[in-house]
Amino acid sequence: MNMSNGKLLVVGELNVDLILNQIHAFPQLGKETIADEMNVCLGSSSAIMAANSAALGVDTTFCGVVGDDDFGGFILRELERKSVNCARVKQIPGQKTGCTIVMSYGQDRANVTFPGAMHALTLHDIPFETPSAYQHLHVSSVFLQQGILRDIEQLLIRAKAAGMTTSLDLQWDPAEQWAFDYARCLPYVDVFMPNESELLALTGAESINSALEEIRPYLNTLALKMGSKGSMGVRGDQQMMAPAFEGKQFVDAIGAGDSFNAGFIRKYMTGAGLEECLREGNLMGALNTTAAGGTGAFDNRQQLSEHIQELWGIELSLP
Ligand SMILES: Nc1ncnc2c1ncn2[C@@H]1O[C@H](COP(=O)(O)OP(=O)(O)O)[C@@H](O)[C@H]1O
Ligand SMILES: [Mg+2]
């Protein structure tokens, strides 16, 4: 077993976000409309989780694919700027890097995603040597990555065989097929990290309680994200609610779930108990909402500690 080298491996999708703001009208076929503001930034849930883990001082390596185009180069530079190790990010010749066009209208956004190279990541790109160079494997956004979805059970089995602990955030399935065999796969997932709507959609249950009964036989630990209510933890016959930190200086909740994952997993990797992990997840989720996008509140370790101290009076001990 390899419980203490402190290295995190994140397997997931990569894309740029091209965000249009202050758009004069809704897009209409055959017409042209103007946006007064545009930003191009590092997108993808997995990248937010990885970047924010690194910001919290976790030694983080990303495993994913981009194309050999300008967007691919941009993503690699951004990840490296955020101290994420990119040795396992492949730039595939002839592939196009994934891109999400975000049309932002106040609180609401219409997104169009081109997955591009995302589908090209497979089981064979993931380092499973024994003993593993990594303590923990986090897999995210499975439905956006056909090459990963196809072999997800094998992937998790191999990660466990290599001595890693594992966590999984499926994220939403845009096709709403939910082709993830939880009865077979969850036994190899140490921490399962859905939000409420994803858990309901996956199980087809009417309520969270019946969804819990549905997955309980296969479950190790559940960290269920519940927005401004906080999170729920389930492990064996333990079930606990961890209240959210009061939303202060709220800007948006983009990436809150990914920041929750970063906080929870950082604690989990130190061997902390469930309650402490949930609390740290909630804290990072709440911090995430104080700045625009998923990584805005995590730019600088010193500043994020001070910000948490100022907003919630909590002293973080970061490396
Ligand atoms: N408005 C909010 N105020 C305080 N904490 C929040 C708020 N929204 C989200 N969080 C925190 O972030 C976590 C993840 O957010 P959530 O929206 O549930 O996940 P996801 O982004 O995956 O849908 C929540 O469990 C909670 O701890
Ligand atoms: Mg999420």
Q: Is the pLDDT of residue 78 over 70?
A: yes
Rounded average pLDDT over 185-201: 98
- Tell me the pLDDT of the chain averaged across its residues: 95
Ligand 1 atom index nearest CA of 250: 1
**Is the previous residue joined to 131 through a cis bond, with omega within 30 degrees of 0?**
yes
* H/E run at residue 98: strand 98-105
Structure tokens at 248: 């202060």
Residue 230 Cβ inside 6 Å of ligand 1? The answer reads yes
pLDDT for the residue 138: 98
Is 34 within a domain? no
| Count of CB atoms situated within 10 Å of the CB of 298 | 25
Atom number in ligand 1 closest to CA 226: 18
The pLDDT confidence band at residue 286, using thresholds 50, 70 and 90, is very high
For 61-72, the pLDDT digits (tens) are 999 999 999 999
CB 169 within 8 A of CB 47: no
**pLDDT tens-digit readout, 100-114:** 999 999 778 899 999
User: Residue 60: pLDDT above 50?
Assistant: yes
pLDDT band at 317 (very low <50, low <70, confident <90, very high): confident
Q: How far is CA 215 from the centre of its chain?
A: 21
Q: Let me know if residue 18 belongs to a domain.
A: no
Q: In this structure, are residues 8 and 165 in contact, taking their beta carbons and an 8 Å threshold? A: no
In 3D space, the residue among 293, 287, 291, 289 whose CA is nearest the CA of residue 305 turns out to be 287
CA distance 310 to 307: 5
- Mean pLDDT for 273-297 is 95
**Average of pLDDT values for 145-154?**
98
User: Is residue 282 within 8 Å of 260, Cβ to Cβ?
Assistant: yes
Residues 207-249: tens digit of each pLDDT: 999 999 999 999 999 999 999 999 999 999 999 999 999 988 8
Q: Which ligand is nearest to the CA of 252?
A: 1
- Confidence (pLDDT) at 69: 97
Residue 44's identity, in one-letter code, is: S
Q: Are 283 and 312 in contact (CB under 8 A)?
A: yes
More confidently predicted of 121 and 254 = 121
Residue 33: inside a domain, yes or no?
A: no
Cα(195) to centroid of ligand 1, in Å?
Answer: 9
In a domain, 20, yes or no: no
Report the amino acid identity of residue 222.
Answer: L
Overall domain count for the chain: 1
Position 258 scores a pLDDT of: 97
Query: In which residue are the tokens 């309520």 written?
Result: 207
Of 75 and 252, more confident: 75
| Largest pairwise CA distance in the chain | 60
Ligand positioned closest to the Cα atom of 253: 1
Closest to 14 measured CA to CA, from 39, 38, 48: 48
Residue 182 CB–ligand 1 contact under 6 Å = no
Cα–Cα distance measured from residue 187 to residue 24, given in angstroms and rounded to the nearest whole number:
50
Whether residue 247 lies inside any domain: the answer is: yes
Residue 3's pLDDT is what? 53
User: Residue 210 carries which side chain, given as an amino acid letter?
Assistant: S
Q: By residue range, what is the domain housing residue 164?
A: 7-13+44-98+116-312
CATH number at residue 256: 3.40.1190.20
Q: Is the CB of 244 under 6 A from ligand 1?
A: yes
Structure tokens of 44? Answer: 């993808």
Instruction: Say what angle helices 45-55 and 70-81 make with each other, to 10 degrees.
Output: 30
End-to-end CA distance of the chain: 24
Q: In angstroms, what CA-CA distances link 55 with 266, 303, 316? A: 11, 11, 13
Summarised one tens digit per residue, pLDDT across range 124-134 is 999 999 999 99
Cα-based distances in Å from 100 to 62, 139, 184, 249, 298: 20, 20, 32, 27, 22
Q: Half-sphere exposure (CA, 13 Å, Cβ side) for 240?
A: 14
Cβ 264 under 6 angstroms from ligand 1: no
Q: Evaluate whether residue 107 is within a structural domain.
A: no
Q: Is 167 a pocket residue for ligand 1 (Cβ < 6 Å)?
A: no
Q: What is the pLDDT of residue 318?
A: 86
Who surrounds ion ligand 2 at CB < 5 A?
257
Ligand 1 pocket test target in 107, 168, 224, 225 with most atoms within 8 Å of CB: 225
Q: What pLDDT band is residue 1 in, cutting at 50, 70 and 90?
A: very low
